[in-house]
Structure 1
């Protein structure tokens, strides 16, 4: 039945009859598993006139198969009704479908995935409605200056290779799909010998192999076409210009190497040396105002990929920016310290990407797409052995005469460097080996210890997860600016510790920190090893940063410039503009939660002085500090509580309700996809007994593919790529909102459909709908325990919402909700009083 190929971090098997590869990765946890089915077909297999086939087929495969389809009321989206998190992604070298689900329900995924591998319906009428959905997805990408620039840059670099066309395809090909073309594409590439099915989580390996054999074993293998395509060497610089409403952007890309080469990992490291953090080589140019941000774009693909540095400009001096990019990439000095910091960063990124069952399964899919499943393991060995010589060798790709330059506005060619390939050793394997599985672990949320300002959970995690929230009455924009600056330098024992020293300490000790801000204050999320000595150092540093920062002038000017220009850029984002417009119909201008328009937020940041930041910080130091921590030892939690909890002042915040308008229109010229929102204020928050029933009722309207809006406006009428409804809680009030994206020519039909479905929903939902969405929310609550990070987030969320007392009983409270409860709670929403917001091309 199965032959065991190899074991290590994963266990690989191949089916003796049809060549299907199965990967098992059992690990301890609360009874969750991810099934990931990866087909080795992506846009790289498409030719002119057939672009986008892979992506369109991915969409159509959710429309049903011979034995699992909407007519039988048991299609793929039935899994969502069982509490699964499921979706699919398509890219250059692969298409993958995944489900995160209760281990006891894994068989539901296996039987459906096998059926759509061999017998999808792919009906012409399903394609007709889905084409509008795919086109709407395409149009949303056309709204983004960065996405347009990236697509154009790859087209510039790969005129003769399929990588030059984006995965979604060209608009012409999208408009000329046929069901027969997609059936032929499926018959060609969807076969067991062209697929890898992986399972990660808590399961019985022997039972999984038997179940996969039961459903896949009789599917015949196929002869998969051999692809003969190679990118030709570039013989000169290529350039292109895009003009659209956007801040200036420049991208400089170089064709490099295949993803499985040693050079590819060297380039990942080199990219971090160039662009990551205050030790990066581009950071001085951000401080000097050439850029307000710089980012790396390098993916390890099957064929030669494109290494790109993107610069978001502080001015329209594109010539200076381009010269700076070339000079820095080719000639900056790289030290052993730079190398070790970047290697540590990349190793940490890989490790944390594999932390959840879904994340690890996705890493496996990407490794398979590159051409070697075991890259997920061998890449660590290659990384460990990289040297400065590898960095200099990788820089040989940065030849200005072989560059590709794209800008977004208001002689002799050296041969490509020799690629140093990595080779995966074959290894010996017992053909009958089966790994041990893991039983589900009990996560007893009743054991969270609650103090006046803290929540502490002892649980067998490998890292310490710490969330520190400081109350502040400043705006989110000023909190964000202050939050970045307090991590840029501090005084410890009368010595200034600058941002470079802090960055190196964090990287070397595998400490990850993020700073967030909102209307309630400032929040620092920290993940660090369960080492008491490291914890002591980090807590001392954190307290010093919070209460004794140095606020360097140059860092202040750099952060202010970047944040102001980022805020200004939101004026070109239809989704951001629509969100602000709707929330302004809930909160009055005197309310601390009132959101500013992008231009106003940008002006506030620009007009903030360093003394203003110091004054805001002085008030912050008097604020209440709330702490959430998850660790595997109560001694570590006690250290955190002693060091961080502070019973300070709670800001006096002004509240004011807005007088809502019936509609808000905001015209933005040249948008190919409009954002439409419909919503209103609801006079309850998460502490109200009707909140949970109303959340379930709102889910029945627009919670995923089981919601009425997706079933009607998307699936049946094909008017949008996505339409969702939700309940957004604040203190004392919630925001009921529906959001959708429509092509400007379909917006009127889309709004009519959205309103019709919403008015019908307001009359009440059915018992079947309630049962479905109760299962969904219980399942998703379980899926939220898939990793240490999400467990910590869950505890912190309940801590901030003052719902810790009911956290452990969430599933029981959902089960107890009745249909009468839901339909009564829905009376809190008067859909006739909702505000309609339309943003985009309206004329």
Structure 2
């Protein structure tokens, strides 16, 4: 069954190594004798096992290579198995291998599995057969011809083998359980491979694979049965020791299958009469002590007539048969349960019954009789296998593939020493429904499967060779990325209600128009306790108006390739518009309709609250969301009545549930308006048309609630470290903040900006924090720092962040604190300052190439009176900074004693 099942992994190609012969032979070095298995090694890395048994009349030569489908890469599925076939063709020295095997009348085969490939020959015991077998295997190791002419014939044979398996529902079912159960590890792929890869692989590609893996340092040679040990060692010396150890390093594979996140279920529909239910559970590697306990558990569950599953499902005639399969594997494997279902049984009802019985496994109270019965069966099988030397030598192939032949004896010892608690432990550990993959084979006589249409390179070349495309669009005019050029192309104005606007004349590709509008709304009294209401109101602006349904709004915008978005935060209503020159008036008319005629249907309100809360509920156990929320709460002490109060995630959910349509309508009619707002459009648009449409859209959009700016309160932060445990989360986060008073017009601002650039923000991963934690130590994927210094008030902060594996929590904390303290104690260097001045200037220039940056600069000028010239002035001040000023600013505004840190993750992980 091996070659019809499954298997795979990732193949890392290194330069092909052409084997060369050493000059002198060497005798195999004796290592030891383990229960009659005599172990030897050669300098070239090959292992030799001799199992003499004079009671036999036959002998077997079995060579095992530690390569299987696990080692195949992209586009190479089935290569190990195909190569197994090819190595029966011919070698340079001996010629036709199959013919010589036939002439000698022995038994021979080759098999491929996930972790290994083997070749063996069984002959009557005599010197000629022994010598020829060892000579042939040595020649096949390095001198296989692998001709394209042979491959052209053989691939159809392998393809037919594949097709035979595809006609077997049991084989198809097992393969699909494995392929659905494994996400990353190549055990999820069939050993026999992909039919398409089998058909297309070329001889040179096969040869690379052969030359990498079919080498003495990757092989174990077994000679067993009746043979002359002295002569066997001599022939091994003559034929194998002269093969030089290759210079390449194999390295092995590294993929570890992650824990499954929940039960998986799939269906196969084929034209067949057989009904099958199957289930797979991720279990242990063969080397794991658990493998023995699991083997006993399978006996206890499925044996006829005492098995628990047998009694509950077969004896009751719910299913006609049950069996399990748990392959011997190097890496953590999977146990497969097969349930055959009679045609007269309802497959869906039977699947529910099977699932119910499987769910009971972890809670069964197993008995000493169960254990005794299972151990007796397993030990019988072990002894019977060991006492058949020829078969035992061949079966050692699996054990060698799993890591080492001695694992066979450790497994036996583990079986003999099994205790009842071992059975219960593995039942509870592995047999969880979130570790299960279930599938059904559902007969479907008229099933038409969908096969994708493939395009080869030559077909694509033919498809595009004469394609000319549509007429070239007009290229937008060049636009210099400079403040002087922005000012030159900027038109400012004011609407009748006092709203200020800016128009940046810049041709965008496709005559695109982008706009961002920021309206200052409300006062402390009118906004008190209305954060959730404001957020939901903005979300519902596009849910329907007196003249358009939600569907009509969406359809119109889609047809015009345009979009409109809105959201509220604190005292700001933000509206964004993305459209094209030809559609600008129509899109602005939709915006005007949304702002003046919104209807807020009850069903849309309910759906929006559910959607928002579902997103928040998804954050309740997310380390990043939890840490970010908790850090804000620790850094401020606003009362719940303040618009700056930071609600917990659960409080946000609860507040959203309380929002009513009447509250939304009241917020819409009384709070929002454009009188205290600004907006900027960028694109090639006529100023008169732009301003007239802005007037139509926003000119009469006024709020009844008077806008009075609410200034935030400064809260001094004090050193605090807080741990939050988030169970079963693979990633963790570290966040920190330190408050101080500063606005962007403060004379120390440029120096502090540069200090933060050097410490955690500047360059491409070249600042101190990312250089230490990511580049040097590799303990954080993303780490850095940033400043939050406002324009209109002086409540500022320095902040840091780091994403990490939970096991690196202490290392990350120590590294961040060390780097901050080092900067505070010793300051930065002139080289760091000079380098970051250059990168800062380049980053500022790059940012001016962003349309969003230009819009934000103009909006800031309109709203706060911050001149566009400040952008260049800031860079000039930074370029003129002295090192002493930068170091002084850092010490003045940052102190370890003022940093609050929050760590969120599963820190119980080891």
Higher relative contact order (CA 8 A, sep 6+): 1
Which of 1 and 2 has greater Rg? Answer: 2
